[in-house]
Amino acid sequence: MLLHRLSLCVGLPLSSCHSHTVARAASQGKHARVRPGMPSVRQWSNVPFLTVPLARAHGKSFAHRGELRQAKRVVVKLGSAVVTRGDECGLALGRLASIVEQVAMLQSQGREMMIVTSGAVAFGKQRLRHEILLSQSVRQALHSGQNALKDMSLPVLEARACAAAGQSGLMALYEAMFTQYSTCTAQILVTNLDFHDDQKRRNLNSTLHELLRMNIVPIINTNDAVVPPPEPNSDLQGVNVISIKDNDSLAARLAVEMKADLLIALSDVEGLYDSPPGTDDAKLLDTFYPGDQQSITYGNKSRVGIGGMEAKVKAALWALQGGTSVVIANGTNPKVTGHVITDIVEGKKVGTFFSEVKPAGPTVEQQTEMARTAGRTLASLHPDQRSEIICGFADLLTEKREEILSANKKDMELAGNGGRMTPAMMNRLSLSSSKLNSLAIGLRQIAVSSQDSVGRVLRRTRVANNLELEQITVPIGVLLVIFESRPDCLPQVSALAIASGNALLLKGGKEATHTNRILHELAQEALALHGVRDAIQLVSTREDVEDLCRLEKMIDLIIPRGSSQLVRDIQRAAKGIPVLGHSEGICHVYIDAEASIDKVIKIVRDSKCDYPAACNAMETLLVHRDVLRAPLFDQIIDMLRTERVKIHAGPRFASYLTFSPSEVKSLRTEYGDLECCIEVVDSLQEAIDHIHKYGSSHTDVIVTENEETAEQFLQQLDSACVFWNASSRFADGYRFGLGAEVGISTARIHARGPVGLEGLLTTKWVLRGDGHTAADFSEQGSMKFLHENLPVAHPLHGQRTSN
């Protein structure tokens, strides 16, 4: 009858529920307990419910994490360590609240959610301890006096009694929490016998389907008050037989019975490791394949609960065999508990994903290890050898021109048929013979400049007699470069990585898949000349950018090449890895009162119109107020109109006009198109202040014939690139003579502006002594510090370095 009451509430607003007499009891904290033996109530079928069609036919598990977004029916298993507090007495209310919120949110998206929960024993233990202590304290006070209270001890509590005492309270807690999200729940208690009895199993299946159809979240638990011991040798003996001896096996059996798409098993470990967690060499396995079962070992069991990791893995593999995908993850980590379930459903790299499909190539983690190992060898090569690799790559770009252009044509056709790319994006995607020739020339410039890059001595100091210190350049380590539809970025960045001795991971946009693949093959062919083929890896798996940004123990620097949105997304995601780049290119050109007419027209046209989508294109034109009254201003406006540049008026500029262009919505806007803002300032200082307030510290220009004014602008303005009488488009590694660039940085440390070879190097200190100790230089010691600066000699060719 209670379940019938709940059914009346589903799909109605709370006010409507309360209008029913039978519904009031449910709204006051009561909940439905459904027993597998109960007959199904068919009169519910006339209640209308909105359901989302299944994303796929059940029968085969998902092969990749990204497919988990399609999961319609999801079972969430909450282990004892997740539900209970650290003292094993009582529930972890904060964790439960965040889990309930996530389940309710996924349910509201149209998914069918089921929970398999532990916690009844812990909750009951808390209640029984409280009752026993209260009872003992009263008896002791009556018979023995207050001093005897100190000697009270708690008896050992039997688990079945705890479960009986805690089950109703646990369910009432779930009911109260889900009510906050207008979500109804129903409780189902099962034992192993319910699955081995065909009639009971059919009843259970029918009940669960009815509840899911009515948008109710079933909360399932083993009936620990009456559950018998597990039957020996009956566990995991095929898809149709699994003994329910813990909630891991219960969740697996339930998921297969209900043809669930996904089983999320939350415990107190991050997932499955290749060795016991906590050991030095333990590595979290992102994906686990059934064939790898013999290559892992298991650690200790959880602090609570009757299962262990071995039981979880067996249950997961059993569910996987039955067609349900499985993820084992940590549900107790306060940093991720609030979004662990939603992250898994969104396909993010959380915990260990079980898959029957093993990829043909290495994982991204394996690629990173391969790149680091080969990168260290690359850094130790003779400078001439690194130059030879780069020149070989340049030769291949011209020799294999036809194959490259053929692959690029295929990408262009696919992109054109998709219809989602703008003309500017198509232009960036396109390669031509002239572009390949320019790339080859740039690579050869890098080959020349790499001769004295790695191992260059920057400083030498004689610390004391026979104790000399050197500071030398070394590679940063492993670089991750993420770039959008610009395949010409791949050879440029690869050459810079080779020249600087860095290992490199490349993640390109899918729109340039074929072009990137052949360019990467050519890069590896050149690297193979000196046995370092694996130093550059192209990530072609389905890794999300956010997942790559979490490899903080494997990647040393991330360099995004693409839109400002891409850069911002990566900066947010890469919390533990430095990001080199800029999120915006809000570049200014300031026209001083003493500017030359000819120079102004040339510089403004080039800065805005040469390549409007570039990050170094002008976005705001600042004009001294005296220029407004001069013929020069009319010529500027005529030129912009001729070039079809849409003008937005800044607040002050608009105040000067009777009929002004559309007023700018924000002075901090990167248009990336034939649009710009015009604003008026009263002085040089006001121009500098405006740029500091609204600019992005990228590239800013002054046009003036007054050298003193120009020098003041160059000295006071705090941007990565500051120009006098030159277009903002010169902010480019190739134009600076760097050969190529990995990007433009507006950061304050390490590298700033166009980042070429020098920006991919760091330093280390090398100290050569002869048995020296710090004690030798104490007050009682026999040695004195000299700290003499020594002349810096060029490094010998063939000098070996390592990072």
DSSP letters spanning 659-681 = S-SPBPS-SS----SSEEEEEEE
Q: How confident is residue 730, by pLDDT bands cut at 50, 70 and 90?
A: very high
> Lowest mean pLDDT: which of 111-120, 155-164, 759-768?
155-164
* CATH number of the domain bearing residue 529: 3.40.605.10
- pLDDT value for 147: 52
Most confident range, picked from 211-225, 307-321, 562-576: 211-225
Q: How confident is residue 126, by pLDDT bands cut at 50, 70 and 90?
A: confident
Q: How confident is residue 518, by pLDDT bands cut at 50, 70 and 90?
A: very high
> Lowest mean pLDDT: which of 27-41, 317-331, 525-539?
27-41
Same domain, 81 and 189: yes
318 lies in a domain? yes
Parallel, antiparallel, or unpaired: how do β-strands 587-591 and 646-649 relate? unpaired
The C-alpha atoms of residue 428 and residue 508 are separated, in whole angstroms, by 13
Q: How confident is residue 48, by pLDDT bands cut at 50, 70 and 90?
A: very low
Q: When comparing pLDDT for 622 and 60, which is higher?
A: 622
Helices (H) and strands (E) in the chain, counts: 27, 25
Tokens of 538: 């192209």
Tokens of 278: 């906590």
Tokens of 657: 């006009």
Most confident range, picked from 118-132, 156-170, 688-702: 688-702
Parallel, antiparallel, or unpaired: how do β-strands 788-790 and 457-464 relate? antiparallel
Q: How confident is residue 567, by pLDDT bands cut at 50, 70 and 90?
A: confident
Same domain, 325 and 379: no
Across the range 490-515, mean pLDDT stands at 94
Q: Is 617 left (phi over 0), alpha (psi -120 to 50) or beta?
A: beta
Across the range 521-547, mean pLDDT stands at 89
**Where is the domain boundary, 354, 387, 419?**
354
- pLDDT value for 799: 46
Q: Say which DSSP state 579 is in.
A: B
* CATH number of the domain bearing residue 269: 3.40.1160.10
- pLDDT value for 573: 84
The C-alpha atoms of residue 435 and residue 92 are separated, in whole angstroms, by 61
> Lowest mean pLDDT: which of 22-36, 182-196, 522-536?
22-36
**Where is the domain boundary, 696, 723, 750?**
723
> Lowest mean pLDDT: which of 30-39, 55-64, 466-475, 540-549?
30-39
- pLDDT value for 115: 96
- pLDDT value for 272: 85
- 138, amino acid identity: V
Across the range 646-654, mean pLDDT stands at 94
Would you say 124 and 311 are in contact if contact means Cβ atoms under 8 Å apart? no
12 lies in a domain? no
Same domain, 314 and 291: yes
Q: pLDDT tens-digit profile of 664-679?
A: 999 999 998 899 999 9
729 lies in a domain? no
- pLDDT value for 681: 97
Phi then psi for residue 3, to 5 deg, are -65, -35
Same domain, 522 and 646: no
- 352, amino acid identity: T
Same domain, 178 and 128: yes
Same domain, 332 and 480: no
Same domain, 298 and 368: no
pLDDT exceeds 60 at position 306: no
Would you say 578 and 377 are in contact if contact means Cβ atoms under 8 Å apart? no
Same domain, 294 and 423: no
10 lies in a domain? no
Same domain, 330 and 447: no
> Lowest mean pLDDT: which of 58-62, 398-402, 525-529?
58-62
pLDDT exceeds 80 at position 638: yes
Q: Say which DSSP state 774 is in.
A: G
The C-alpha atoms of residue 506 and residue 543 are separated, in whole angstroms, by 12
Across the range 624-647, mean pLDDT stands at 94
pLDDT, averaged across the chain? 83
- pLDDT value for 440: 94
Q: When comparing pLDDT for 237 and 194, which is higher?
A: 194
Most confident range, picked from 233-237, 245-249, 398-402, 653-657: 398-402
Q: pLDDT tens-digit profile of 417-428?
A: 877 787 777 888
DSSP letters spanning 453-466 = STT-EEEEEEEETT
Single out the residue of 271, 273, 267, 328 nearest to residue 302, CA to CA: 267
Q: When comparing pLDDT for 604 and 59, which is higher?
A: 604
What whole-number percentage of the chain has pLDDT above 90?
Answer: 52
Q: How confident is residue 119, by pLDDT bands cut at 50, 70 and 90?
A: confident
Across the range 255-284, mean pLDDT stands at 86
- pLDDT value for 803: 43
In degrees, to the nearest 5, what angle opens at C-alpha 261 toward C-alphas 111 and 238?
145
Q: How confident is residue 227, by pLDDT bands cut at 50, 70 and 90?
A: low
pLDDT exceeds 90 at position 338: no
The C-alpha atoms of residue 113 and residue 106 are separated, in whole angstroms, by 7
Q: When comparing pLDDT for 688 and 142, which is higher?
A: 688
pLDDT exceeds 90 at position 334: no
The C-alpha atoms of residue 571 and residue 343 are separated, in whole angstroms, by 19
- 377, amino acid identity: T
Q: pLDDT tens-digit profile of 578-634?
A: 998 776 889 999 999 999 999 999 999 999 999 898 889 999 999 999 999 899 999
Same domain, 536 and 649: no
Across the range 23-35, mean pLDDT stands at 38
| Residue 719 CB partners (closer than 8 Å, separation 6+) | 691, 695, 697, 698, 699, 700, 746
Would you say 26 and 6 are in contact if contact means Cβ atoms under 8 Å apart? yes
Which ranges constitute the DSSP H helices of 576-630?
597-609, 625-628
Tokens of 472: 């030398």
What 3-state DSSP class applies to 513?
helix
Range of the domain at 496: 364-453+475-541+553-563
> Lowest mean pLDDT: which of 570-574, 618-622, 746-750?
746-750
Same domain, 326 and 385: no
659 lies in a domain? yes
650 lies in a domain? yes
Across the range 689-703, mean pLDDT stands at 96
Same domain, 407 and 324: no
Across the range 736-758, mean pLDDT stands at 81
Q: How confident is residue 381, by pLDDT bands cut at 50, 70 and 90?
A: very high
* CATH number of the domain bearing residue 660: 3.40.309.10
Q: How confident is residue 59, by pLDDT bands cut at 50, 70 and 90?
A: low
Which residues sit opposite 467 in a β-bridge?
464
Which residues sit opposite 702 in a β-bridge?
590, 724
Would you say 487 and 512 are in contact if contact means Cβ atoms under 8 Å apart? yes
802 lies in a domain? no
Would you say 701 and 590 are in contact if contact means Cβ atoms under 8 Å apart? yes
Across the range 552-556, mean pLDDT stands at 90
Q: pLDDT tens-digit profile of 476-500?
A: 999 999 988 889 999 999 999 999 9
Single out the residue of 681, 567, 685 nearest to residue 620, CA to CA: 681
- pLDDT value for 753: 84
> Lowest mean pLDDT: which of 3-17, 548-562, 680-694, 760-774?
3-17
The C-alpha atoms of residue 601 and residue 27 are separated, in whole angstroms, by 74
Q: pLDDT tens-digit profile of 437-452?
A: 999 998 998 998 888 8
Q: How confident is residue 269, by pLDDT bands cut at 50, 70 and 90?
A: confident
685 lies in a domain? yes
**Where is the domain boundary, 661, 695, 723?**
723
pLDDT exceeds 50 at position 528: yes
The helix (run of H) or strand (run of E) holding residue 765 is: strand 761-768
Single out the residue of 541, 442, 426 nearest to residue 485, CA to CA: 426
Which residue in this structure is represented by tokens 């079962």?
293
Structural domains in the chain (count): 3
- pLDDT value for 417: 86
- pLDDT value for 9: 35
Across the range 206-231, mean pLDDT stands at 84
In degrees, to the nearest 5, what angle opens at C-alpha 74 toward C-alphas 72 and 80?
170
